[in-house]
Chain A
Amino acid sequence: MWKFLLPFAAFVALVVLFAFGLNPKRDIHALPSPLIGRPAPEFALTDVLDASKVVSNSTLQGQVYILNVWGTWCVACREEHEALLEIAQQHVVPIIGLDWKDERDRAKQWLEQLGNPYQAVAFDHDGRTAIEWGVYGAPETYLVDRQGRVIYKFISPITRQVWDHEFLPRIAAATRAGA
């Protein structure tokens, strides 16, 4: 009896393990962010479109907002851009861009040619702000609540599906809370 059950139990355990671990939808390189539930790091950087202006998230206190990390060098960001433009049209929450390790001229050109979904884009040339946010790739997108806490991080290009299923419910909850 046991001769049969034990290997069978081991087999079932392996099946469960593989179903979880080999799931093609899982991004094995995605790391959970330790920023979740903690205050969003403050930044004050120049506006990528106008170096004389400052873009700071301290002015967004009390608002739910999205921070989208991108760069003109990032192929996946190019993929994501159209979805962001569509999403921005919905005018649900402000989308703040963090232009990471980029060249100002190229970023300007990119936004002019492809369209600008951002309320403002902060120019993080040396990457220090990105380090504060624990950014390790692009695109990465953070959701910040009214209390200025990071409540969600999405690693991967955002699609309409992701927006509808992952972001909108969280944004709705965050908008209700603290209202």
Chain B
Amino acid sequence: MTRALLALLLAGSSAAFPAVAADQPVDANGQLADRELQLRFEQISKELRCLVCQNETIADSNADLAIDLRRQVREMLVAGKSDEAIFKFMTDRYGEFVRFAPPLAPKTFLIWGAPFIALLLGVAIIYRVARQRSRQPLDE
């Protein structure tokens, strides 16, 4: 009798958490059993953009798509895929924009470089204006 009850409780609890029950080795907190994989999962999730709420990562977003993509990342980690393979999977389907921080590549040079270029430009302008001002005679 108790064993049947226990079995029922277990089945019930896995039905209550359908997202974590059947397909992945996650514990009751929804974390991967393998500590290292869980850490990689957290890191990767922080680097992927939720395309529904585009200013959030899939780690932060509650959108359905974010949940699905987190599941996808977990499955690939458990299947032994590397971080690069997981990022490639995502960019192959969603494009570079799905990477939250743009990768350092020739075509993203402008994104990374723009703040520094703007800073240099600003300094140059200030310098020129300061020089001009110092050349003008002081007002009496």
Contacts and interface: CB of A to CB of B under 8 A. Distances in A.
A35 interface: yes
Contacts of A130: 68
B94 A34 contact: yes
A5 to B, nearest CB: 15
A33 B95 contact: yes
A132 B93 contact: yes
A32 B95 contact: yes
Interface in B60-110: 64-65, 68-69, 72, 91-95, 97
Is the interface on chain A under 10, 10 to 19, 20 to 34, or 35 or more residues? 10 to 19
B92 A137 contact: no
Interface string A100-129: 010000000000000000000000001110
Given A101-B64, A127-B64, A131-B72, A34 B51 contact: no
B43 interface: no
B95 A131 contact: no
Contact of B94 (A29, A31, A101): A31
Interface of A is mostly: loop
A101 B54 CA distance: 20
B52 interface: yes
Interface string B42-55: 00000000011010
Contacts of A128: 68, 72
Contact of B95 (A101, A126, A134, A137): A134
13 contacts: A31-B94, A31-B95, A31-B97, A32-B95, A34-B93, A34-B95, A127-B64, A131-B72, A132-B93, A133-B93, A134-B94, A137-B51, A137-B52
Q: 9 shortest A-B CB distances, which residue pairs?
A: A136-B51, A134-B93, A127-B68, A34-B95, A134-B94, A31-B97, A31-B95, A101-B64, A136-B65
Interface of B: 51-52, 54, 64-65, 68-69, 72, 91-95, 97
Given A130-B68, A132-B93, A134-B93, 12 more contacts: A31-B51, A31-B94, A31-B95, A31-B97, A32-B95, A34-B94, A34-B95, A133-B93, A134-B94, A134-B95, A137-B51, A137-B65
